[in-house]
Amino acid sequence: MRTQVGIVGAGPAGLLLGHLLHLRGIDSVIVENRGREYVTERVRAGVLEHGTTELLIQAGVGQRMLREGMRHSGVYLAFQGRRHRIDFEDLTGRWLTVYGQNEVVKDLISARYATGRPLCFDAEDVSVSRFDGEARPCIRFRSDGQEHELECDFIAGCDGFHGICRPSLRRESWRGYDCEYPFAWLGILANAAPSSDELVYSLHERGFALFSMRSSSVTRLYLQCASEESLDQWSDDRIWDELELRLSTLDGWRPNRGPILQKGVTGMRSFVAEPMRFGRLFLAGDAAHIVPPTGAKGLNLAAADVAVLSRALERHYRENRQDLLNEYSDRCLRRVWRAQRFSWWMTSMFHRTPGENEFEYKKQLAELQYVTSSRAAMTSLAENYTGLPLEVGL
Ligand code: APR
Ligand code: PHB
């Protein structure tokens, strides 16, 4: 088997890359080690930056998102019993779309099948080799009991944080930067109509809570919990009581309760691998960097990486120019570090660190008071939250 670009992983990064390459007339094969259902049912974040929304529309995969996604022009920051609205559209002319990451993945899988280009689920023993020498890179895997050797011009490592591409690099060829946070998020999906039409980020004495949604009948909520929190300790009633305590405001606002459809604990860490290119292997998305979910940047960074990569590969194939491929890592990392800073800042502003003294809490309240009262500070938050413009369109 032979292809131009071998893509490891069918998450948002791999699938969107495959689609952008298709639009640019470049051939690819996507190899995923999980099943289609697992990939489409995995509950993840759901906030698309302005630029990500535009990219999906331009790429022709935004129709359902436009119909079913929710346009959000701002968010609320809540503390000391009050909600303060940050009006993104007024401050920056930009807005967000709330649409589940798994819905984006479903749309991209349908688009992939419509192109007739290969997408292989349930691949076993996936490995990558020969990407940093003269020989052609190769992806090996087993599917339906058969061994496959896929020869490629380039490999895109879009296989997430726990994938095999990054661990296949020579240890001395890259450096990792990371930061672990001493807390996690307990997230639920509930069959309850959202009681606010915008997200609410709340700092409470007992810790952070977030109100989000997926549709007019499904609410998504998160609570700061301990890193090693066990779900056994959390009955549905306890989760609702804690959410109500941390989110309710003095004007009587609180989340609506309803049957819990799904619950899980998400760890919080920041990680960046530098560089993101190794000869003919390019890392993209979570394979190269992860952010704590507080800034809602994970999926958006993945989209920004593959927008740059697909453009750089087009330049290579159409004009035989390597400049954009050579710049890939630096261009992506500039955006990644901006998003890291913002995600870290949002995380520090909203979470109670175990063992911290009251000075920290007072400082957080002062920061929130500033951010919700100064137009300059609100604009800074709004610019970062709605996202920097994408450098590359179609
Ligand atoms: N071989 C093939 N595929 C693999 C392998 C492997 N050895 N290991 C992992 N994968 C697959 C995973 O099963 C997953 O479907 O790679 C895919 C990676 O997808 P994501 O983890 O969703 O990462 P990415 O596409 O970069 O998207 C980033 O996902 O984790 C969220 O918050 C993050 O929203 C962000 C987005
Ligand atoms: C979500 O809706 O899942 C969500 C929203 C905002 C975040 C993180 C997750 O910061």
**For the segment 138-189, what is each residue's pLDDT rounded down to a tens digit?**
999 999 999 999 999 999 999 999 999 999 999 999 999 999 999 999 999 9
Query: Is residue 43 pLDDT above 90, yes or no?
Result: no
DSSP state of 15: H
Q: What is the dihedral of CA 216, 378, 286, 394, to 10 degrees?
A: 80
Residue 100: the pLDDT is 95
Question: Which residue type sits at 81?
Answer: G
Query: Is residue 218 pLDDT above 90, yes or no?
Result: yes
Residues contacting ligand 1 via CB (< 6 Å): 8-14, 31-34, 39, 44-45, 101, 123, 126, 158-160, 163-164, 285-287, 298-299, 302
* Average pLDDT of the segment spanning 30-59: 95
Query: Is residue 133 pLDDT above 90, yes or no?
Result: no
Residue 122 near residue 35, CB atoms below 8 Å = yes
Nearest to 351 by CA among 251, 253, 262, 246: 246
d(CA 227, CA 238): 18
Active site residues: 72, 201, 293, 297, 385
Query: Is residue 310 pLDDT above 70, yes or no?
Result: yes
d(CA 109, CA 112): 5
Per-position DSSP letters for 258-309, written without gaps between them: --EEEEEEEEEEEEEEE-SEETTEEE-GGGTEE--GGG--HHHHHHHHHHHH
Nearest to 189 by CA among 100, 66, 92: 100
Give the distance (Å) from ligand 2 centre to CA of residue 360: 24
What percent of the chain has pLDDT above 70? 99
**366: Cβ–Cβ under 8 A, 6 or more apart, which residues?**
none
**154: Cβ–Cβ under 8 A, 6 or more apart, which residues?**
4, 5, 6, 137, 280, 281, 282, 313
Per-position DSSP letters for 193-212, written without gaps between them: --SSSS-EEEEETTEEEEEE
Q: Of 44-48, 57-61, 109-113, 374-378, which gets the smallest average pLDDT?
A: 44-48
Give the distance (Å) from ligand 2 centre to CA of residue 221: 8
Nearest to 86 by CA among 94, 78, 77: 77
**Residue 209, token pair as written in the block:** 């809570």
Residue 392: the pLDDT is 74
Give the distance (Å) from ligand 2 centre to CA of residue 115: 31
Beta-carbon neighbour count of residue 284 at 10 Å?
A: 34
Q: How confident is the model at residue 333 (pLDDT cuts 50, 70, 90)?
A: very high
Which residue of 159, 166, 185, 291 sits with most ligand 1 atoms within 8 Å of its CB, as the best mutation to test the pocket? 159
The upper half-sphere exposure of residue 31, i.e. CA atoms within 13 Å in the direction of its Cβ, equals: 31
Query: Is residue 394 pLDDT above 80, yes or no?
Result: no
Question: Which residue type sits at 35?
Answer: G
All structural domains of the chain, each given as residue ranges with its CATH number in brackets, are: 5-72+96-178+269-351 (3.50.50.60)
Does this model's pTM top 0.85? My answer is: yes
**Residue 4, token pair as written in the block:** 């131009």
Give the distance (Å) from ligand 2 centre to CA of residue 211: 8
d(CA 77, CA 353): 19
d(CA 95, CA 299): 16
Query: Is residue 393 pLDDT above 70, yes or no?
Result: no
* Proximal ligand: closest to the CA of 304: 1
* Average pLDDT of the segment spanning 2-14: 98
Residue 194: the pLDDT is 98
Beta-carbon neighbour count of residue 243 at 10 Å?
A: 24
* Average pLDDT of the segment spanning 352-381: 97
